[in-house]
Structure 1
Amino acid sequence: MKKGLVLFFTAVMMVCMLAGCGKDKGSSDKTQTTTEEAKAGLEKGYWVADKMVMEGTEFSGQDMVDIFGSKENIMSLVFSDGKVDGVIFDDYISTTYTGTIDEFTIAMDGETLKGKSTGKDTIELTLQDGSSFTLVNQDEMPAPIANNPWKTYNIDFSAEDSCDMSNFNVQGRYYVADGFVYGLSHSVSLDGTFAATPFEMKGDFPEFGEPISLDDRGLAYYINQYEDYLYYILDFAEICRVHTDGTGRETLYSGDCDYLQIHEGKLYFTDGNFHFVSADLDGANVTKVVEKEVYYPYFIATDWIIFQDDADGESLHLYNVGLKTELNITYEPSFNPIISGKYLYYLSNAEEGYLMNQIDMSDPDMFACDMANGTIADYLYLIDGEEIYTINNNHVALSDWKSLTEPGDEYACVDLYTSKDFRIYHDINEQGLITGKYLSNKNTSGGTSFK
């Protein structure tokens, strides 16, 4: 929320006293609900303000609308799986709640709202100063939220967030943690295998030990760590997990799959139809999330995902899994979206190569777009919050993104992992074969080869 509720309501009361309007506070009887209703009641439908009480003065009906404007803009709330989005006095919010419809709490900056059921289709919210709102259940999503639900979210991607999204967009081929490089190794076979390669920093440069094979059946993509497990897609044909020490390997999902991500303790990926699905960490309970063909689906917030919609001209869409609302943000074929700070970067087609674009995601009314001055030869790129890396060891400061161009279209070097401290890249020959794999400390200009 952008402004404090207490300060706002103080100003509201001054207006009301000057206007001299209002009625005596009414009352209502609370009805009991079953346990099942209590669990699901808040998340059934939408809630819109119908009455408000401040310092013992009630405002409702046309008086409420005349003074404060549309009831939907006074307070509209949507509850979903412990989260609440909505509008309070034209201010968009996205926060959390705990409890059930019989008794719940909404956490706000500098304010806590206490809620309870006061009837079959009504709830009451009480502020710390005693002011209260009565909200009525609605079947249709309130217009302020339906028109642009993205307004409830203030985006600010950290450098770490940008690195994670970048690594996802180059198929998550490497992961570095706790003195290990997890990913492609040629220590077992010339075709490559999934391995853990230990290393120790000696000054600014890593010194490598012998790789530990994790899965010698093929190549691993979208490597994620969750607790003591590494989750990955094997050859785009199954989802597996294995302990970081190489024990306990198991297959969780069999069938064509892509775009694996772990979000809030669940697996998310696309199936053989490129429909976006979720599953438990053991692979059970596969559930449709977006039932259409999508690419690059990635959670950028608790409820928000971004994806390329194949049926809508390969444009980029935002989708809220709680509200089940969708928003188009580009109107052209758009590839490899990566967010840094409040900006979305993506590639579009050019006569030769690709054009880098930037959208201001903090402006949901406009989604203002800017374009680079030149083109790049290949669609692979990474952002670490400070720089953009493309093929052939080409990189510029993020602030100079518009000047990014690439000399030629032949591979010599391609970046495949970035983090605050490290970078992994491959050397490529004219036949497109890997001739070297390197881990580089970002404080140095060169990398150290590993198997």
Structure 2
Amino acid sequence: MKSKILVVILALAMCFAFAGCSGNSTDTGETDSKVKEPEKPKVTSIIGSWECENIEVVDNGEKLDKDTVEMMFGEGVSNAFKLAAYDDGLAYVTMMEEEGAVLWSETSDKVYKLSQPGAESDTEDSGSMAAKLDGETLTVTVTETYLSDGVERSTEMIFTMKYLGKESRLIEGWDVTFDDHDVYAMSNFMVGGLCVEMDGMLYGDYGGDEWGEGAFTVAKIKEGKLKEPTVITENAKVSYLSIYDDDIYGILDNSRIIKLKDGKAKVQTLYEGTCYYMQVTKSGIYFTDEKNHYCKVDLDGKDKEIIIEKEVYYPYQVNAKFLVYQDDADGETLHVYNMENGNDTKISDVISYEPMLCGDYLYFYTPGSDEDLNYMCRVNMYSGKLEKAEQEALMFDYYVTPDNFSVAMGGFVTAEFDEWNKFADKNSAGFKFYPIYSNGEIWITWCDGENFMGPRTFGTDDEKSIGYSYVNKQSN
């Protein structure tokens, strides 16, 4: 008999063993390894990693008893059948430690068909495999017909599967789910971390009348406007502002890491020396130094340690385990570094700038034929599929929100995620506006040395500059 699905072949082999050998046991090859369950998001489709928790076998209309099923599969059913499905329509099925690739497609609402890649038709196949999602339970049914003593028989194997979370075939152990706050935090970091809001106060670089002027300033946000501004540090450029444990951290003039205790307008210097790309975590303060090496100091700024001793750009820890960064020596491509074991995985093969994570995708752009022309790209962090827009687009900068993109294309163009590769079809002209900061309620835009705060997505209509000159004027 010829089957086009690896799993069906294995199922048939077990059926033959049962029908022809009257109960001879099958070696499961089961190991003691266990899958650690991550925190799981809500299950909405077959996409993800699944593990068997119950098996039923119906042979020619007769349901086999539990002892017989255990004799066929062994007592531990979790290793008997596993499934990992990805959004590119590919899945990997493991039965009795034998793995094979299958294609999956949704035939109706939460009902799925699985077939072997390259199969031309099911009409001559004696087997089939289908799945159905009910709540958070996936039921996979393998059906096979075969001849036994000249009589055609039919066997169904019904596997009840539990959801383990998403499994990446790109990076071992990757299962990162960003909430809205995480998306905004990474996007704010990638555009420079020039502002941050805490307790109704806006801290940040308020810009100036000319390129390069500015002041580290704090003001109250009231009725969509800034009130009672206070200059914290004159004529200084602040960047990579963030909040940790109710304190404000940042970098001044790329030369010192500072902290504002309890949000007060008094700067405490923690570390002096060239520094970029600062991120504060419970294990310390991370940044790149004068050699662009990825470093760490304690939360008090002491005990500097080099984590990655090579030129690193755009480094961002998406959780305590994984760091996304651009490897300058490897063609400016994106890598993921495992902070626990030091494993390093290349995830893009083109020049990659400003990675931003949302959902399953890490978005970035790669240069086009001109300084202001770029190609939007994305890589699926689970399937490993890398996509590049077919056409380059006028793009000065971009920002990812939980719901859409905002791209600086003269003015701002907002697009849904399914339009990620269609910015070449959108036109905008005028001043170069850049996204600076958002937390979902506040939207701050930079243009020609001035910063603007508006109520809509990086809008600049009817807003007043919050630049350095404006701060001075309001203070008088």
TM-score by length of 2: 0.60
Which residue in 2 is equivalent to 1:172?
193
1:448 aligns with 2:463: yes
- Does residue 1:368 correspond to 2:385, yes or no? yes
Separation in 1, partners of 2:199, 2:290: 34
The 1-side partners of 2:67 and 2:273 are apart by 64
What CA distance in whole angstroms lies between the structure 1 residues aligned with 2:184 and 2:194? 13
Q: Is the 8 A contact 2:247 2:263 kept in 1?
A: no
| CA spacing shift, 1:19–1:310, aligned 2, 3 Å | same
Equivalence map 1:96-107=2 (5 Å): none
1:308 pairs, out of 315, 326, 345, with: 326
Which range is displaced more, 327-336 or 184-193?
A: 184-193
Aligned to 1:438: 452
Show the 5 A alignment for 1:384-399: 384-391=401-408, 392-399=411-418
Deviations 1:376-401 (A, max 9, x none): 33452101121211222222222211
Does the Cα contact within 8 Å between 2:396 and 2:434 map onto a contact in 1?
no
DSSP 3-state at the match of 1:393: strand
1:239-388 superposed matches below 5 A:
239-243=257-261, 245-352=263-370, 353-363=373-383, 367-388=384-405
Partner residue, 1:195: 217
Partner of 2:12: none
Q: Which residue of 1 aligns with 2:91?
A: none
> Which amino acid in structure 1 is aligned with residue 439 of structure 2?
S
Deviation for aligned residue 1:219: 0.9
The one-letter code sitting in structure 1 at the alignment partner of 2:401 is D
- Indicate the SS of the match to 2:418: helix
CA positional deviation for 1:361: 1.0
What is the letter of the counterpart of residue 448 of structure 1? Answer: E
Partner of 1:18: 71
CA shift for structure 1 position 347? 0.7
Partner of residue 435, structure 2: 415
Q: Which has the higher contact order (CA 8 A, sep 6+)?
A: 2
Aligned Cα root-mean-square deviation (Å)? 3.5
| Cα offset, 1:227, TM superposition | 2.5
Kindly tell me: are residues 362 and 271 of structure 1, through their superposed partners in 2, closer, same or farther at Cα, counting changes over 3 Å? same
Determine the C-alpha separation between the residues in 2 that align with 1:233 and 1:338.
21
Aligned-partner residue type, residue 174 of structure 1: C
**C-alpha distance in 2, partners of 1:54/1:368?**
34
2:432, 2:447 within 8 Å by CA — same for their partners in 1?
A: yes
Q: Distance in 1 between matches of 2:333 and 2:207?
A: 38
2:348 is paired with a residue of what secondary structure?
Answer: coil
Structure number with greater Rg is 2
1:195, CA displacement in angstroms? 0.7
User: Which stretch shifts more, 232-241 or 379-388?
Assistant: 379-388
Shift of 1:151: 3.3
| C-alpha distance after superposition, 1:333-377 (max 9, x if no partner) | 1111111110111111211321001111121xxx11222243233
Q: In structure 1, what is the Cα distance between the partners aligned to 2:434 and 2:229? A: 22
- Counterpart amino acid of 2:177? D
Where does residue 401 of structure 1 map in the other structure?
Answer: 420
Structure 1 residues 33-83: Cα deviation after superposition (integer angstroms, max 9, x where no partner): xxxxxxxxxxxxxxxxxxxx979xxxxxxxxxxx9659xxxxxxxxxxxxx
**1:243 offset after TM fit, Å?**
2.8
Which range moved further: 191-200 or 179-188? 179-188
Q: Shift in Å at residue 259 of structure 1?
A: 0.2
In structure 2, the CA distance between the partners of 1:15 and 1:174, relative to structure 1 (3 Å rule), is farther
| 1:157 and 2:175 are equivalent in the alignment | no
**Shift in alpha-carbon separation, 1:186–1:381, aligned structure 2, 3 A:** closer
Give the C-alpha shift of residue 226 in structure 1: 1.5
Task: Please state how far the C-alpha of 1:188 moved relative to its aligned partner.
Answer: 12
Query: Which runs of no fewer than 5 residues in structure 2 stay unpaired?
Result: 1-36, 38-48, 56-65, 78-94, 99-135, 137-166, 471-476
CA 1:269–1:370 in 2, change beyond 3 Å: closer, same or farther?
same
Deviation at 1:293, TM superposition (A): 0.8
Alpha-carbon deviation of 1:443?
7.6
Aligned counterpart in structure 2 of residue 425 of structure 1, from 427, 435, 445: 445
Distance in structure 1 (CA, Å) of the matches to 2:252 and 2:321: 27
TM-score computed with the length of structure 1 as normaliser: 0.63
Distance 1:155 1:379, change over 3 A: farther
Which amino acid letter does the alignment assign opposite residue 441 of structure 2?
A: D
Alignment CA distance shift 1:188-1:251 (3 Å): farther
Q: How many residues align?
A: 322
Output the CA distance in 2 between the equivalents of 1:348 and 1:20: 50
Q: Tell me, which stretches of 5 or more residues in structure 1 are unaligned?
A: 22-52, 56-66, 71-108, 110-144, 429-433
Do the aligned residues in 2 keep the contact of 1:181 with 1:196 (CA within 8 Å)?
A: yes
CA distance in 2: counterparts of 1:225 and 1:447, whole angstroms: 30
Identical aligned pairs, as a percentage? 23
